[in-house]
Each structure stands twice: as structure tokens, then as C-alpha cells.
Amino acid sequence: MNIYRIIKGIIYFTITILLVYLITLVFSLYFGNRIITGKEGKIGLINVEGVIISSKSFIKQLERFSDDDSVKAIVIRIDSGGGGVAPSQEMYEAVINFKKETKKKVVVSFGNIAASGGYYVACAADKIVSNPGTITGSISVIMRIPNLQSLFKKLGYEEQIVKSGKFKDIGSISRAMTKEERAILEDMMLDVHEQFIEAISRSRNIDLEYIREIADGRIFSGRQAKELNLVDNLGTMEDAIDLAGKLAGISGKPKVLSEKKKLSFFEFAKDFFEQSSYLNPFGSEPIKLQYRLF
């Protein structure tokens, strides 16, 4: 097949994905957050949606609810297949610190998907409520490094590398990976994977060996996760809100406060380019450790 037809097909495919993404983002910005009114007590609602790239917005919302004495508990709604290792860990630690400093309860509600990094964040909560059909699990680490050596040869492109260390260009997209390089990366991934397992064991009080047996990247339905003790209850977001209210000692229907996103061109462009940069395997940082589904 002609190489230019392949490139043309990739371009068309990419444009289609971007259009779908833009439409999804607009609907998310307009309709993604909800405010539920009630009579007594307040529950703070934080939404974690899409690929986890940054922890900044999440932590700011936690801080805002931490300073609000009228907010008695937090519900974190997760609809994410995970993302970066570092932001997932930062969000997890932020929830742990929030509970220690405020003594407020945290309940997580699972949406369509709450896997890998999304599940990592959830483990920090006091309780996890999942829909029976939620996709969850994927307790693992993944790294994608494209090898464009054959394509570069066809295009007549060649890289000249000057380096001071043997492994300085580890993960180069212009050549195949060596056995030594693969061993180094796999060793690093095993350590990051172990950190995930330890966080689950510590937060949910589950034996390490038990977690290791199921932490091989497999996914579960919410109902299967309940049987494996990875979640606490089966139910909807409303059930999670009611549970948070009970844990906080709120009588009656709690009032739920959530940050309403404002649609601006600047924020829209910023989110778009951040997502595109992170998901692009050919970017300036080809080595990306991810707690991410698929």
C-alpha cells in the first residue's frame, strides 16, 4: 500500500477523533456538573472525568471544600480510565490529607468507568459506591513507545544521536529497543506497579498478596469488584450522596455543592491541547508511565 495513502488515512482518522473529542468536551462543560438542592447539611461534589493529566483543579476544589465549614462530607464522582502516574498519586494523597486535616468523610461514586488511575484515586476514600455495570480494575501500569524506524526509512528520514550516557536516548522512536533498555523500563514499571498495589492494600486494608493476584491489568464489572472487595456498595451517585450524608450525620436530604465550569475559549483551548499533547505518542516525551486503561 502507498505510504502516502497510509498517512492520509491516519490524518483523516485523527481529525475524526478530534471532532468527537470537541463535541464531547462541549457537552461535558455545559452539562457535566449538576447542583442538587436539599434542606439540611451540605455535601461537596467533585467530578473527575476523562484522562487524568493534572491534579491542580482537583486539589483546588478539595481545598475550597476544606475551608467551607458548612460542607460536612465530599462525594467524588469518577468517570475516568486513568492517566498519568504522578497526577493520580497526587490526587490520592490529596484525599488522604483532606481526611486527616478536616476529619470529613469522603465517598467515591463510579460512573461508566473508574479504572487504573481512576481506581487509584478512589482507594483514598472512606467508601466506594459503584454501579453494577461500571468498568473498573485495570490495576496495572502501561508504557507506549512507538517504533517508527521502518516508516522513517521509507521517508528517507534519519536521526543522528550524540549522547553522554549509554541509555540517554532510551525510548527513542527512531529505532528498536534493546534488551537492556527493555529490562530497565520493565524494572521501573514493576516498582510503580507495586506502589499501586501497596496503596490499595493500605487504604482498603486488604492483604498485599491478594491484591497482587488480581493486579494484572484485568478489568471487572462493578458487581465483580464488589465480590472482590474492591468497592464497598453497589448503587448510583444519589446512593453515594445519601451515604455521605449519613456518614456526616446529616439529617434529611443533603444539599450538594459542585463547581460550575465556565465555557471560555481559553480554557477550552488549554484543555484541548493538554489532552492532545498527553495522548500523542509521538510528542517530545515518548516515555510516559500511565495508570491507564488500554
- The residue type of 49 is E
Flag whether pLDDT at 36 surpasses 70. no
What is the domain partition of the chain in residue ranges? 32-292
- State mean pLDDT over 260-281: 52
Looking at residue 43, its pLDDT comes to 96
Q: Mean of the per-residue pLDDT values for the chain?
A: 84
What single string gives the DSSP state of each residue in 182-233?
A: HHHHHHHHHHHHHHHHHHHHHHHT--HHHHHHH-SS-EEEHHHHHHTTSSSE
Q: Which CATH architecture has domain 32-292?
A: Alpha-Beta Complex (3.90)
Q: How confident is the model at residue 9 (pLDDT cuts 50, 70, 90)?
A: low
- State mean pLDDT over 85-113: 97
Looking at residue 38, its pLDDT comes to 43
**pLDDT tens column, 43-76:** 999 999 999 999 999 999 999 999 999 999 999 9
What whole-number distance in Å separates Cα of residue 275 and Cα of residue 12?
Answer: 19
- State mean pLDDT over 11-19: 68
Contacting residues for 12 by C-beta, under 8 A, at least 6 apart? none
Contacting residues for 259 by C-beta, under 8 A, at least 6 apart? 33, 46, 61, 64
What whole-number distance in Å separates Cα of residue 291 and Cα of residue 286?
Answer: 16
Catalytic residue, candidates 39, 153, 168, 270: 168
Q: How confident is the model at residue 271 (pLDDT cuts 50, 70, 90)?
A: low
Looking at residue 261, its pLDDT comes to 59
- State mean pLDDT over 104-109: 98
Length of the chain: 294
Looking at residue 151, its pLDDT comes to 85
User: Residue 285, exposed/middle/buried by CB under 10 A (0-12, 13-18, 19+)?
Assistant: exposed
The partner residues of 256 in beta bridges, in order of sequence, read 36, 43
Contact 278, 50 (CB under 8 A): no
**Nearest-CA neighbor of 28 among 94, 74, 77?**
77
116 catalytic per annotation? yes
Looking at residue 267, its pLDDT comes to 53
What single string gives the DSSP state of each residue in 121-149?
A: HHTTSSEEEE-TT-EEE--S-B------H
Looking at residue 37, its pLDDT comes to 42
Contact 268, 22 (CB under 8 A): no
Contacting residues for 17 by C-beta, under 8 A, at least 6 apart? none
246 catalytic per annotation? no
Query: Could you give the C-alpha distances from 27 to 8, 21, 56, 62, in angstroms and in order?
Result: 29, 10, 22, 24
Flag whether pLDDT at 219 surpasses 50. yes
Looking at residue 188, its pLDDT comes to 93
Looking at residue 229, its pLDDT comes to 97
Catalytic residue, candidates 88, 116, 201, 258: 116
- Stronger pLDDT, 207 or 6, i.e. the higher one: 207
